[in-house]
């Protein structure tokens, strides 16, 4: 990590770590910058974007687990899906960005399951049925 910081101090560029996370149909592009813990999602403050405490805790689990919540500013661009899918996408994006910053965090993140992409997607509706699994009412006679 120190080599990256020194190289960037010579060029005068801020150190930025990128991570991409996906969940259901949501895609989050996450940037980690050294800072004080400010989090911005799509140009809005984190608390305004996710009013539910459970979603905020879920999205920030990687930063809290590693103890780096107050050492980085997080900028997120997230598209698609609903609020739960977006929170999951942000969670994976942050974990991947932290891994790029410090590969030694892999065992900690892996133990919490933060590096695993949740592959569950919506099952498609089949013809001859009202939904993916539901059948029309069966009548014997």
Smallest CA-to-CA distance from 29 within 37, 13, 40 is with 40
Q: Which residues pair with 76 in a beta bridge?
A: 30, 41
pLDDT value at residue 12? 66
User: Domain locations in the chain?
Assistant: 9-111
pLDDT value at residue 18? 95
* pTM for this predicted structure: 0.87
Q: For the chain (length 141 residues), average pLDDT per consecutive 10?
A: 53 84 97 94 96 96 93 96 96 96 94 95 96 95 86
pLDDT value at residue 141? 86
pLDDT value at residue 15? 87
pLDDT value at residue 8? 63
Q: According to the 3-state scheme, what is the secondary structure of 26-76?
A: EEEEEEEEECCCCEEECCEEHHHHCCCHHHHHHHCHHHHHHCCCCCEEEEE
The CATH class for the domain spanning 9-111 reads alpha beta
Rounded CA separation 74/70 (Å): 10
pLDDT value at residue 24? 95
């Amino acid at each position: 990590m120190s080599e990256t910081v020194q190289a960037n101090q010579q060029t005068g560029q801020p150190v930025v770590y990128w991570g991409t996370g996906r969940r259901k149909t949501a895609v989050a592009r996450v940037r980690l910058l050294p800072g004080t813990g400010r989090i911005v999602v799509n140009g809005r403050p984190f608390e305004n974007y996710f009013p539910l405490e459970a979603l905020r805790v879920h999205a920030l689990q990687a930063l809290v687990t590693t103890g780096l919540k107050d050492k980085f500013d997080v900028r997120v661009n997230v598209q698609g899906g609903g609020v739960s899918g977006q929170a999951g996408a942000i969670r994976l994006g942050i974990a991947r960005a932290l891994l790029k910053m410090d590969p030694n965090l892999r065992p900690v993140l892996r133990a919490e399951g933060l590096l695993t992409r949740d592959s569950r997607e919506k099952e498609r509706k089949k013809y001859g049925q009202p939904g993916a699994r539901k059948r029309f009412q069966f009548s014997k006679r």
